[in-house]
Amino acid sequence: MASTSKRSKYFDNAKFILIFLVVFGHLISPLKEQDGFLFTLYTVIFLFHMPAFIMISGYFAKGFNKKGYLSKSVQKILIPYFIFQIMYSIYYYFNGQEERLSFDFLHPHWTLWFLLSLFCWNLLLYLFAKLKWMGFALAIMLGICIGYVDQVGSFLSISRTFVFFPYFLLGYLLKENQLRTLIRTKYSLPIGLIIIAGTLIYFGTAFPKDAVPWLLGDTSYANMGGKNISDGLIRGIQYVLTLIVIYGFMVLIPSAHFKVTKIGERTLYVYLFHGFIIKSVQMFMLDDNIHPILGNYLFLFIFSFIICLILGSYLIKKYTRPLVELRI
């Protein structure tokens, strides 16, 4: 990570792996309850993949106070949110998931919560960046406290905005030399392998099946079955565990250039369009059709990889850019 080029390759590699995990996680979601191995992979993936993505987004938000940054955020984040919210509404209507065609911009469809929250995180930087590490501690407290608000949920993605904001702020606060020191120490590679392996073993043997909603961060403690004041402590422990696993993941990322590295620059295209493919596939994953897929891990892996290759290709970017990167 010594040069700008190497830094770019490092983060592009990380983003490609993370977007693959997003696609793979969504693909196996309907299968996880019937397959213990897929359940383990699903829970480990959802523990850290979006927090890691969000932290990287925060790392590249260091120019938020420059002139024009906010207008660019509106153009690159908020406008695509409205466009794809309309597209998903039409898609859900024609595939029968919605009885009538309606456009609700206050409740994000499926993966679109990320765009709405990403815009809010950029706004929150104007308040929290000045506080620096005290702001990070405050963000952790807000992420814990928001769970006690029973009515919080998908409305304007408020729950996820506050639950995941600490990761975004942490990415912003981390300086290049600090990050390099953390992930390129002498024993970082074996430590990373131990962390990932240990997490897989722990989640495969001890993770409660009814605790999946805790990984999503989209609702209150009460709606997840929590009734105790100590529920906030659980989220606090989850923050610590997630950061440890993010570290284990980051130290394993190479800085070399690969053929898929370029796709790391186009992860937003994969993120926004993969839902149409996954949702269409899931319509055929009924009880009668699901059994041949169960246990076919190689197929699931390759299919997810192909989705990333196709949606992250130059051609997809060329012909869909007006939807994703609308220029005003």
- State the Rg of the chain over Cα: 19
Overall average pLDDT of the 97-101 stretch: 83
pLDDT more than 90, % of the chain = 72
CB 4 within 8 A of CB 254: no
Largest CA distance in the chain: 58
The tens digit of pLDDT for each residue in 78-93 reads 999 999 999 999 999 9
DSSP, collapsed to helix, strand or coil, labels residue 59 as helix
Overall average pLDDT of the 122-147 stretch: 96
CB 12 within 8 A of CB 206: no
What pLDDT, on the 0 to 100 scale, is given for residue 281? 85
Residue 285 predicted with pLDDT over 70: no
For residue 240, give both structure tokens. 């610590």
In the block, tokens 């397959």 appear at 35
Could you tell me the pLDDT band of residue 280, with boundaries at 50, 70 and 90? confident
Residue 67 backbone phi and psi in degrees, to 5: -60, 130
The tens digit of pLDDT for each residue in 297-325 reads 999 999 999 999 999 999 999 999 988 98
Whole-number mean pLDDT of the chain?
A: 91
What pLDDT, on the 0 to 100 scale, is given for residue 292? 64
Q: Worst-scoring range by mean pLDDT, 1-5, 196-200, 214-218, 234-238?
A: 1-5
Q: Worst-scoring range by mean pLDDT, 140-149, 181-190, 210-219?
A: 181-190
The tens digit of pLDDT for each residue in 245-269 reads 999 999 999 999 999 999 999 999 9
Overall average pLDDT of the 239-244 stretch: 97
Could you tell me the pLDDT band of residue 1, with boundaries at 50, 70 and 90? very low
Residue 7 predicted with pLDDT over 60: no
The secondary structure of the chain, three-state, reads CCCHHHHHHHHHHHHHHHHHHHHHHHHHHHHHHHCHHHHHHHHHHHHHHHHHHHHHHHHCCCCCCCCCHHHHHHHHHHHHHHHHHHHHHHHHHHCCCCCCCCCCCCCCCHHHHHHHHHHHHHHHHHHHHHHCHHHHHHHHHHHHHHHHCCCCCCHHHHHHHHHHHHHHHHHHHCCHHHHHHHHCCCCHHHHHHHHHHHHHHHHHHHCCHHHHHHHHCCCCCHHHCCCCCCHHHHHHHHHHHHHHHHHHHHCCCCCCCCCCHHHHHHHHHHHHHHHHHHHHHHHHCCHHHHCCCCCCHHHHHHHHHHHHHHHCCHHHHHHHHHHHCCCC
Q: Identify residue 157 by its one-letter amino acid code.
A: S
Shortest CA distance to 219 belongs to which of 141, 74, 68, 107? 107
Residue 212 is inside which H or E element, if any?
Answer: helix 212-216
The tens digit of pLDDT for each residue in 44-60 reads 999 999 999 999 999 99
Overall average pLDDT of the 231-238 stretch: 96
User: Quick count: other Cβ atoms within 10 Å of Cβ 45?
Assistant: 20
